Structure formats: structure tokens, C-alpha cells
A and B are shown apart, each in its own frame.
Chain A
Amino acid sequence: MRPEALKGHLDGMLLAVLEPGPRHGYAIMEALRAGSDGQFDLPTGTIYPALRRLERAGLVAGTWSEAGGRRRRVYELTPAGRHTLDAERGSWRQFSAAVTAMLEPVPRPVTS
């Protein structure tokens, strides 16, 4: 899937990936790939600016951790982030149901 196809949905997917618990950038990218069965193959570097944007908006909280001499920034959902994720889910269900209804082939009446 092309990265531009994900525009407008990346924030919601990042929030969804963080729903089970805190993760750092690489783990988030891996979860995106695994969760989409490899369909979402973005340039890895692009998720870091998106995470910082979500943090600035108060939807995720970032903290530094260090293991094996390597520093990683670990993100977790805030209450506002959970609320936004619920809203994103609701609006996506509506949108996808409408698009599916439009795109699915409709049986045509048989004419004699």
C-alpha cells in the first residue's frame, strides 16, 4: 500500500498501536507492519515526527528509557488519546461502511 494512501489515518493507527501499552518507535513500526500483515510499509523515519505531533497535542506521553546503552523514547496513550481513538474508530466505521456500500457491486435487475 502506498504511504500517501495512509494520509489522514496515520494518527489513528498510531493511537491504536499504543492502546495495549507503551512502546518505543521501532516497536510501534513493527506493530504497524504486523497488524496490517505487511500492508502498511511506511518509511520508518516518518512515524517519529507523527509521534512528536501526537505528544504535543496531548494524545500520547513520551518518556526516555535506556537499555544496553541505547536511549529510546517510549510513548503511551493519555486519557485524551484514548478518547480520540474511540472517536476515530467511530468515524472510520461510518466512513468505511459508506464507501463499501458504494463500491460493492450491486446486482442489476434482469431485463428480458
Chain B
Amino acid sequence: MTGAPGRQLVEDYLAEVAARLPGPARERASILAELRGGLLDTVDAYRDAGVSAADTADTAHAAAAAAAAAAIEEFGDPGLIAAAFGPGLALGQARRVALTLLVTGPLVGLLWATAATASHIGSRHAPPWQWVGALPGSLMVFPLAAAIAIAVWTALFTIAATGRATRWLPDRPRLAPGTAAVAGFGAAGADVALFVLLASQLTVAPGALAAAPTAAAAVASATRLFLAGRAACRCLTTRAALAGH
């Protein structure tokens, strides 16, 4: 066993690593669990090599602390260890953001399509950018289409660049968090464009909209706007933390 003093030194060391690790909490917890196991194995090896018997409780405590200190020194500087994990964490975070955007995007789109179909504005199946009374279609369809295209293509690129292909690609860990952030902002931009259209329609002819489907689509878009924006900002923060790579 490592003993309380040694265990405390190990936990202090892991806390120093944790403070410097970027990325999602779940991934960081997995890394810290692995480091803890390896570090405690190293402490045990030092203890077994250096202390065969302890005569008093004080001696045992001192030996445990000395073994932990030696193991920590062997493990290396917490900043260096955290920095070495940084690129991998950034890739994982970027991949998750991109996958989430690609899965949720069609769902949000489906809700808006349902709202458009259920509403009776001009022609029966008019998509939001053709709603009567809304801003001229040519004014809003391009930003909406551009935002969707940017989000989809950058998300697809991010997924391609963060999978098994990493073994053949140049080592550029700041790229994927950057493209994932662009995908997130693209999705948020699409939601903003849809809200502009909705606000325009509500101003001109609110009665023409089917309330329940439109409300559902608006709630979905608002949720995604918040989450996609937050994820994009976090990707940028992670990217900034990789400045030395």
C-alpha cells in the first residue's frame, strides 16, 4: 500500500496535471485515472526496492512519502505531461463537437421543415425562406445556405482529420479544434438566420404560423444555438492552449 502521506503527494501531483489539461471533463478523468494507476505502481516499486521493513509508524510514513516523491520525480514535470496529452484531447473534443453537430443538424432541420409544412403561408409547403411577409428570400436564403454548408463541410473535415487518418496526416493539433469551432459557429449562424426569418414572419403575419411545430423548431434552434456557440468557444480555448504545438 502507498500510505496516506504518499497518497497525498500522488493526489497533489495529479491535481497539478489536471489543472493544466485542456478538453472535456470525461476525457480528462480517464487520463487522470490511468496516470494514478501508473503512478501508484511506480510508488510501490520504489517502496519495495528501498524499504524492506519499518520499525515504527513514523519510519513507515517517511518511507511512503520518500517512495512517492521518487516516483513523482521519475514521472516527470506535470506541465510537460499535461502538454503531451493536449493534442490528443483537442482532437477528441473536436471530433465529438463535429459528430454532435452532424447528428443534431438534420433533426433541427426536420423540425423547421415540419413547421413550414404545417403552416399556411403563401404556398402550402413553403420553406422558411419563402414565407410570405418574411424578408425577401434572396436576402436570407444565401446566409442560411452558406452557414449550413460551412457547418456541414467543416464538421465532415474535422471527423476525417481526427479519426484513424491521424497516423498519415501531418502533426497539426491546432487544426481540428479550429475547424470544429468554425462548424459550431456555422450551425449557430444558421440558427440566427432562421430566427431572423421567424421574427420577420411573426411581425407581418403571426397567425399564419402553426404554433406548436414552430415553437418546437424555435426551441430546438435556440438550444442548438447556445450549445453550438458554447462548444465552438471551448474549441477555441483548447486551440489557444495548444499555442506551443
Contacts and interface: CB of A to CB of B under 8 A. Distances in A.
Main SS at interface, chain A? helix
B11 interface: no
A45 B75 contact: yes
Interface residues of B, number: 27
Contacts of B85: 48-49, 52
A43 B80 contact: yes
B74 interface: yes
B166 interface: yes
Contacts of B87: 53
A44 B34 contact: no
Contact of A46 (B34, B71, B76, B88): B76
B42 to A, nearest CB: 6
Task: Give the bracket for the number of chain A residues in contact with chain B.
Answer: 20 to 34
B34 A53 contact: no
Interface string A57-86: 111000000000011110000000000100
A14 to B, nearest CB: 14
Given A48-B38, A70-B40, 10 more contacts: A25-B38, A43-B74, A45-B38, A45-B76, A46-B80, A49-B85, A57-B167, A71-B33, A72-B34, A72-B38
